[in-house]
Amino acid sequence: MPSDQSVTSLLQQWRAGDKQALDRLMPMVYEQLRRIAGKCMQAERSDHTLPATALVHEAYLKLVDSDLPWRNRVQFYAVAAQVLRNILVDYARARGSQKRWGGAQKVSFDEALLVCAENSSSILELDAALQRLSQQDARKGQIMELVFFAGLTYDETAAALDISAATVHRELRLAKAWLHRELTQAGAR
């Protein structure tokens, strides 16, 4: 993985208008974006028509067009994970509207959630639950985004949110329990 300093430096150069910085940045972050996309795609059905590479490329286009004030590598990957998740949610919504929810997608959020197969949720239900969690407790929502979608470590998440790794661990456990309850109840409906 490229160093935090080199990625941060290139992000800042890109933000300042240096288009060549973007050309140097993308090869450095591409593999991590592929890992994040692969993690997102693991929860999708095996015959999904949007491959991880296409997901990364679509996210790349959205990131390049964004006018965000890039601060550092952690923030970049957090935003990238959110963009990837939003693309999958939009894709699921479009597919759902075409098929009227036939063939709903199963999402295994994480083994720690222990959502069994008959109670697994679609990515839309997961997204709705994450939005409710973020409304109820924004920091827990951010922690879920950073750890599960951006693939950041507890230490990186703690640094990004300016909290301790112990707080990340504690709040993540609470967030997982809350999401497990939400998704289990949604599956029972």
Task: Please state the pTM of the whole predicted model.
Answer: 0.63
CA 54 to each of CA 42, 64, 102, 185: distance values in angstroms, whole numbers, following the listed order:
15, 15, 24, 33
76 or 104: which leads in pLDDT: 76
Vertex 178 angle, CA 175 and 184, to 5°: 135
**Bridge partners, 121 (sequence order):** 107
CB-based burial of residue 123 (10 Å sphere; 0-12 exposed, 13-18 middle, 19+ buried)? buried
Residue 104, pLDDT above cutoff 50? no
Of 10-14, 17-21, 46-50, 129-133, minimum mean pLDDT range: 46-50
> What is the spatial distance between Cα 107 and Cα 41, in angstroms, rounded to a whole number?
9
Average pLDDT over residues 54-58: 86
Q: Treating both helix axes as pointing N-terminal to C-terminal, what angle do 19-42 and 73-99 enclose, rounded to 10 degrees?
A: 50
Q: State the chain's maximal CA–CA distance in angstroms.
A: 52
Residue 95 corresponds to which tokens in the numbers above? 């597919």
Name the residue with tokens 């750890």. 147
* Nearest residue to 56 via CA among 91, 31, 21: 31
- Residue-wise pLDDT tens digits, 131-151: 899 999 999 998 988 887 777
- What percentage of the chain reaches a pLDDT higher than 70? 77
pLDDT averaged over the chain? 77
Identify the band that residue 169 occupies on the pLDDT scale cut at 50, 70 and 90.
Answer: very high
- The DSSP letter of residue 106 is P
Phi/psi at 103 (5° precision): 65, 45
- The answer to whether residue 88 scores a pLDDT higher than 90 is no
The pLDDT score that the predictor gives to residue 91 is: 80
Of the chain, the end-to-end C-alpha distance in Å amounts to 43
Give the pLDDT of residue 160. Answer: 81
Distance CA 151, CA 36 (A): 6
